[in-house]
């Protein structure tokens, strides 16, 4: 397996309930394809082969596991949850009972890898003049899910308020800076504050 110590450390530092789940998910990804490489992006483990395949993350009371190209994958078995509630593709994972079978997950992982091998890209979001929408990065949604009040507030923010936070996160030069900004953003949003609240009277 092409494993890295940073993912070892991420798993070891996770909540006790999450450690065996994350270990299992990691093992399944590598069983699906030995060419998979691990990376830490936005403070969480990502699995890549010719592009991003999937990612996982742990929080205080649940884990998430998601596919980068879930929106164009064939979900014949209906394992994907509504992204607005799930934040991670498979929904909130609190125990092994929340996971599909190993065979099913491996099949989906291999399907995601095939999309990358074939160069299939996610469709561009159509521009509309009726209502402005902005694509919120999955790692940001995952973090907001940890605090329901923050998620609710962010969803009700105006286009410009959402854009200010997303651009602030995306402009971070290092992963450490991005993680620090992510923590601050969730805290501020939970308090109902916009990105530029300090400068507004």
Mind listing the domains of the chain with CATH numbers? 5-117 (3.90.1150.200), 138-199 (no CATH)
Please tell me the pTM assigned to this model: 0.62
Distance CA 96, CA 67 (A): 18
Element (H, E) at 57: strand 52-58
Do 94 and 17 form a contact (C-beta atoms < 8 A)?
A: yes
Distance CA 182, CA 194 (A): 14
Which residue shows structure tokens 């959402």?
162
Distance CA 51, CA 117 (A): 9
Residue 104 has pLDDT above 90, yes or no: yes
Model confidence pLDDT, tens digit, residues 61-92: 899 998 988 888 888 888 887 654 455 588 88
How many residues would you count in the chain? 201
Mean pLDDT of 131-143: 81
Give the dihedral sign, CA 12/81/139/4.
positive
Is residue 2 very low, low, confident or very high in pLDDT (cuts 50, 70, 90)?
confident
């Amino acid at each position: 397996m092409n494993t890295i110590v940073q993912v070892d450390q991420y798993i070891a530092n996770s909540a006790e309930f999450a450690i065996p789940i994350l270990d299992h998910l990691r093992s399944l990804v590598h069983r699906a394809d030995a060419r998979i490489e691990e990376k830490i992006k936005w403070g969480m483990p990502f699995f890549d082969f010719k592009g991003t395949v999937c990612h996982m993350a742990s929080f205080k009371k649940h884990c998430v596991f998601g596919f980068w190209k879930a929106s164009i994958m064939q979900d014949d078995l209906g394992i994907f949850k509504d992204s607005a509630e799930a934040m991670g593709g498979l929904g909130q994972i609190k125990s092994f009972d929340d996971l599909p079978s190993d065979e099913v997950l491996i099949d989906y992982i291999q399907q995601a890898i095939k999309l990358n091998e074939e160069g299939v890209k996610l469709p561009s979001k159509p521009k509309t003049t009726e209502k402005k929408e902005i694509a919120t990065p999955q790692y940001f949604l995952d973090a907001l899910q940890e605090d329901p009040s923050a998620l609710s507030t962010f969803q009700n923010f105006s286009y410009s308020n959402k854009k200010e936070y997303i651009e602030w996160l995306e402009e971070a030069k290092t992963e450490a800076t991005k993680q620090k900004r992510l923590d601050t953003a969730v805290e501020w949003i939970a308090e109902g504050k916009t990105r530029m609240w300090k400068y507004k009277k």
